[in-house]
Structure 1
Amino acid sequence: MNWIYEEERIYCEDERKNLMAEAILTAKNNGEIDIEHVFVNSSLRGQGIAGKLMEVVAEYLRKNRLKTTATCSYANSWLMKNRASYEDIISLDENEIIACKIDGRH
């Protein structure tokens, strides 16, 4: 897939410019990034595209030395599952109040 990087999202389109997959990334006041939403077109579901998108997002965050939280339940679950590989990008801010914080306590 050809991923397109914009300021607050990473996505891909098909040849007709239909949105096929997208992650919405929002900068927070503390300089961290919140993964708000992960979308995969229904024609691609069940093929591991959301997981591949999360790998792309995680590598983007790592390359740019950014920390993240995830209010998107899928992104939250993926980061928890892959925490050992991506500890360097996961926010450690215990004071952050986010509904689906990666640590699972909120």
Structure 2
Amino acid sequence: MEVKHGNNIFYVGDNQNELLAAMTFVPSGNDKIIIDHTEVSDELRGQNVGDKLLESLVEYSRENKLKIIPLCPFAKARIEKYPEKYSDILYKG
């Protein structure tokens, strides 16, 4: 399963108009992004797709030296559950 990156979105699907799963974010200043939504279709539930989206977004944030503010309940819960994996990218302001 390939996670793709578009304009402020990481997604699974043929294109951004036919999403099977998506995690969206909003830039905040020059050094932060806000994860605002995660959605996974019933077809892909239970396959750790949300985690794959989060991992792709975290990799992107590390490469671009961005901190993450997780407003999305899913992303917030996963980041809090695994602080050892995510503490370096979590915005602590």
TM-score normalized with structure 1 length:
0.78
Q: Percent identity, aligned pairs only?
A: 32
Deviations 1:42-68 (A, max 9, x none): 111112111121111111111111101
Distance 1:56 1:10 in 2: 7
2:40 aligns with 40
Of the two, which has the highest radius of gyration? 1
Structure 1 gap ranges (5+) = 94-106
Structure 2 unmatched runs, 5+: none
Runs of 4+ in 1 over 6 A off after TM superposition: none
Please state which structure has a larger fraction of its residues in strand: 2
Report the aligned-residue RMSD: 1.7
1:27 aligned counterpart, secondary structure: strand
Q: Aligned partners of 1:14, 1:60: CA distance in 2, in Å?
A: 21
The residue number in structure 1 matching 2:72 is 72
Quick one: higher RCO (CA 8 Å, sep 6+), 1 or 2?
2
Contact 2:31 2:65 in 1 (8 A): no
